[in-house]
Structure 1
Amino acid sequence: MTRGSQRERDRERAAARKPGAKGPQDGLTPEQRRERDKKALEEKAAKKAQQSAAGGGGTSTDSKNKAAGGGGGKN
Structure 2
Amino acid sequence: MARGNQRDLARLKNAKKQQEMKRAQGASAKDGNAGVSTDKRLERDAEVMRQKQEKALEKKKLKKLQPPLLQLE
Do the structures match in fold with TM over 0.5?
no
The structure with more helix, counted as a fraction of residues:
2
Q: What is the TM-score with the length of structure 1 in the denominator?
A: 0.41
Higher relative contact order, chain-length normalized (CA < 8 Å, sep 6+): 2
Q: What is the TM-score with the length of structure 2 in the denominator?
A: 0.42
